[in-house]
């Protein structure tokens, strides 16, 4: 399974798990992805009803203690490249202006479709795909 598909599955499972833990519908949980520093290292927050309520590590999104497969490192490098591209393409000088939110409009108990949306300076810019997020992967085969 490609890193793109694995990351999508991770986000789907994270939304399902956090919805279940918080006893809310899937559409009421979102995962916010944002650069935490000038090196554009991705960090994550779980949101309930579009408001962040907890920081989450990649392992918490995976619902595991240790990521022996190194998925955070691999996905993180591509997400960092995407943040860099967004800054370049939008003449954005402040890394704190970039946010991507993953959400589901579905309430199926064991399944959810994921939508990604890019925000710049707290303004909705456009829907993006996991293909956009991992576009640089094609140069690696």
pLDDT in tens, 56-101: 998 898 888 877 777 778 788 889 999 999 999 999 999 999 999 9
Report residue 4 as tokens.
Answer: 């793109």
What is the Cα–Cα distance from 134 to 114, expressed in whole angstroms? 15
Mean pLDDT of the chain: 87
Phi, psi torsion values for 61, nearest 5 degrees: -65, -40
* Residue 30: other Cβ atoms inside 10 A: 24
Instruction: Find the helix or strand (DSSP H, E) in which 47 lies.
Output: strand 42-48
């Amino acid at each position: 399974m490609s890193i793109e598909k694995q990351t999508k599955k991770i986000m789907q499972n994270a939304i399902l798990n956090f919805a279940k833990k918080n006893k809310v519908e899937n559409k009421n949980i979102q995962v916010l992805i944002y650069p935490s520093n000038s090196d554009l290292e991705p960090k994550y927050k779980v949101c309930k009803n579009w408001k962040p309520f907890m920081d989450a590590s990649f392992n918490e999104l995976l619902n595991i203690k240790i990521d022996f497969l190194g998925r955070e490192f691999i996905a993180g490098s591509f997400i960092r490249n995407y943040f860099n591209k967004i800054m370049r393409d939008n003449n954005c000088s402040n890394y704190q202006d970039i946010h991507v939110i993953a959400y589901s409009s579905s309430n199926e108990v064991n399944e959810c479709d994921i939508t990604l949306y890019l925000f710049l300076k707290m303004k909705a810019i456009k829907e993006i795909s996991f293909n956009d997020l991992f576009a640089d992967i094609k140069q690696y085969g």
